[in-house]
Chains A and B, each alone.
Chain A
Amino acid sequence: MQIENVNVEFDADGFMVNPALWSEEIARALAGQEGIAEMSENHWKIVNFIRAYWKENDLAPPVRLICQELGVSIREIYKLFTAGPARGACRIAGLPKPDGCV
């Protein structure tokens, strides 16, 4: 996929193959795929927190930590990212697919 003159590759689940290529433009494009017409301040707050945590820890943050640190409830996260914190917010934040038992 070509975004802002950058060739961005995705895995079979739609997660970025090379998270280093992430940009806000790419986030907006991925958000569009999730049905988010415009990234609000709350969307960015969550995406930026996830990205910062991942850069520091090489892991997606625990969802409970996102809620505690940003003062949002899990249901608010689902309202903002209907695909949820992992398949929605983490994907938009350019993280590799979080591990899970699927």
Chain B
Amino acid sequence: MEPRCIYLDNAATTFPKPCEVHDFVSLFYRECGVNPGRTGCDLALRAEQMIHNTRKKLTRFFNASLLAAGKEKDPNRLVFTMNATMSLNLVVNGTVGPGDHVVTTMVEHNSVIRPVNHKVREGAEATFVKPDAEGYVDPAEIRKAIKKNTKLVIVNHGSNVSGVVQDLKAIGAVCAEAGVPFAVDSAQTAGVIPIDMPECNISFLTFTGHKALFGPTGSGGICVADDADIRITLVGGTGVRSAHPYHLEEYPYRLEAGTLNMMGIAGLSAGLDWIENRGLASIHAHEMKLLKMLQDGFAQIKGVTMWGTTKLDQRVATLSVSLANYDAADVGTILDVEYGILTRTGLHCAPLIHEHYGTAPRGTIRFSIGPFNTEEHIQAAIKAMAEIAADRPA
């Protein structure tokens, strides 16, 4: 399926989704759209089976080293949420209280910044570690920030502004040595960069379903390490042990309340199959090849500034730029209306990294590449930016 526009806003959500995802969601919901696990009827059991299989697939996806060692992590510690923001809220609210300290970074999205700031308002402390000029966080700075009362380190794996990818292995080693749980926001990386929880000592891996995992919006989750726990903050129906007066302590119920988003989970399941067929490394290589082409093209345009980094390793295919004498929003509007090129402009819900780069308060024009983009799309974007630059106001 080919969208009518040139879609370069894949960091917001991937578009289009693979046909296989649409087909499976539609088929499964038409044939099996009952409440999963709520009754003993065959259809409900089939629905529950699909959900459990998706837990298994995701657990294996994020724990490859365990699988390679012939071990199987308990799939019930993979819980489903509505999105990465909800996952991060559950992690922060379930691990940090008044008097506790959180270490995070200036690279974070508001999905971390705001829950942490709310905790600070309730009496917790927070340290936002400053990255280097490109946006990379030095693990030694994380170590320096950890205090006796630090209860959580929470780090954005891939920046939704500049695409910088943090060294999870090194940061995880620091956290393990200090005995502090390590949470990772993988919204921009899950599905394009391999993440191995045991290898990186990750306690809580939060993910969204609708980006590089190719599920629908409204799907996401957390994979919880066996030696880590999140306090219950969301309570309600679980479909099992209804007579119990309080929310159930065991996973996955511990972090799930209410009926799950079955269509979202079905889409995630099909998205994972699609990634497996195409190959995660091949998807990333394709996107990075196009990113290089985009960066090389923009480097030739007078007035274009590329922010953060132009490195091609430790990176996902996201690039933020500004154009001299133009407001970012205006360039985005012209790209959209005149050229049919969809980007995202502004602060991208990540105000601290824009402050760090010096691109606040108006932000940048962000180009983010997905698996369905082509060289022709990139050439069109370069040509459009060159024409807009040439026409720039004095």
Chain A residues close to B by CB (< 8 Å): 63-64, 67, 73-75, 78, 82, 84-87, 100-102
Chain B residue, CB-CB nearest to A102: B346
* CB neighbours of A73 from chain B (8 A): 338
Contact present for A64 and B348 (CB under 8 Å)? no
Docked CA distance A87–B393 (Å): 17
Q: Determine how close the nearest CB of chain A comes to the CB of B361; give it in whole angstroms.
A: 7
Chain A residue, CB-CB nearest to B350: A101
Query: Is B363 located at the chain interface by the 8 A CB criterion?
Result: yes
A67-B337 in contact given A86-B329, A101-B345 (Cβ < 8 Å): yes
Chain B residues close to A by CB (< 8 Å): 327, 329-330, 333-334, 336-338, 344-349, 361-363, 391, 393
Contact present for A84 and B393 (CB under 8 Å)? no
Docked CA distance A64–B341 (Å): 12
Contact present for B334 and A74 (CB under 8 Å)? yes
* CB neighbours of B362 from chain A (8 A): 102
Contact present for A63 and B346 (CB under 8 Å)? no
A85-B333 in contact given A73-B338, A101-B363, A102-B361 (Cβ < 8 Å): yes
Partner of A84, one of B333, B348, B391: B333
Q: What are the nearest 9 A-B pairs in CB distance? A: A101-B346, A102-B346, A74-B337, A84-B330, A63-B337, A64-B337, A74-B338, A74-B334, A63-B333
Contact present for A100 and B329 (CB under 8 Å)? yes
* CB neighbours of B337 from chain A (8 A): 63-64, 67, 74
A101-B344 in contact given A82-B393, A86-B329 (Cβ < 8 Å): yes
* CB neighbours of A78 from chain B (8 A): 330, 334
**Can you show 5 pairs from A to B with CB atoms below 8 A apart?**
A64-B336, A64-B337, A101-B346, A101-B363, A102-B346
Contact present for A101 and B327 (CB under 8 Å)? no
Chain B residue, CB-CB nearest to A82: B393
Q: A64-B336, A82-B393, A86-B329 are in contact. List 9 more A-B contacts (CB 8 A).
A: A74-B337, A74-B338, A75-B391, A78-B334, A84-B329, A84-B330, A100-B329, A100-B345, A102-B361
Contact present for A101 and B333 (CB under 8 Å)? no
Contact present for A75 and B338 (CB under 8 Å)? yes
Contact present for B349 and A84 (CB under 8 Å)? no
* CB neighbours of A74 from chain B (8 A): 333-334, 337-338
Docked CA distance A87–B363 (Å): 15
Docked CA distance A75–B333 (Å): 10
Chain B residue, CB-CB nearest to A78: B330
Contact present for B338 and A100 (CB under 8 Å)? no
Q: Determine how close the nearest CB of chain B comes to the CB of A75; give it in whole angstroms.
A: 7
* CB neighbours of A84 from chain B (8 A): 327, 329-330, 333
Q: Determine how close the nearest CB of chain A comes to the CB of B290; give it in whole angstroms.
A: 23
Docked CA distance A86–B329 (Å): 9
* CB neighbours of B344 from chain A (8 A): 101
Chain A residue, CB-CB nearest to B347: A102
Q: Determine how close the nearest CB of chain A comes to the CB of B205; give it in whole angstroms.
A: 26
Contact present for A101 and B349 (CB under 8 Å)? yes
Docked CA distance A75–B330 (Å): 10
Q: Determine how close the nearest CB of chain A comes to the CB of B133; give it in whole angstroms.
A: 24
Docked CA distance A64–B345 (Å): 17
Docked CA distance A85–B330 (Å): 9
Chain A residue, CB-CB nearest to B338: A74
* CB neighbours of B345 from chain A (8 A): 100-102
Partner of B363, one of A82, A85, A102: A102
Contact present for B348 and A101 (CB under 8 Å)? yes
Q: Determine how close the nearest CB of chain A comes to the CB of B352; give it in whole angstroms.
A: 15
Q: Determine how close the nearest CB of chain B comes to the CB of A83; give it in whole angstroms.
A: 8
Chain B residue, CB-CB nearest to A68: B337
Contact present for B361 and A63 (CB under 8 Å)? no
Docked CA distance A73–B363 (Å): 25
Q: Determine how close the nearest CB of chain A comes to the CB of B355; give it in whole angstroms.
A: 13
Q: Determine how close the nearest CB of chain B comes to the CB of A95; give it in whole angstroms.
A: 15
* CB neighbours of A85 from chain B (8 A): 333
* CB neighbours of B391 from chain A (8 A): 75
Q: Determine how close the nearest CB of chain B comes to the CB of A101; give it in whole angstroms.
A: 4
* CB neighbours of A63 from chain B (8 A): 333, 336-337
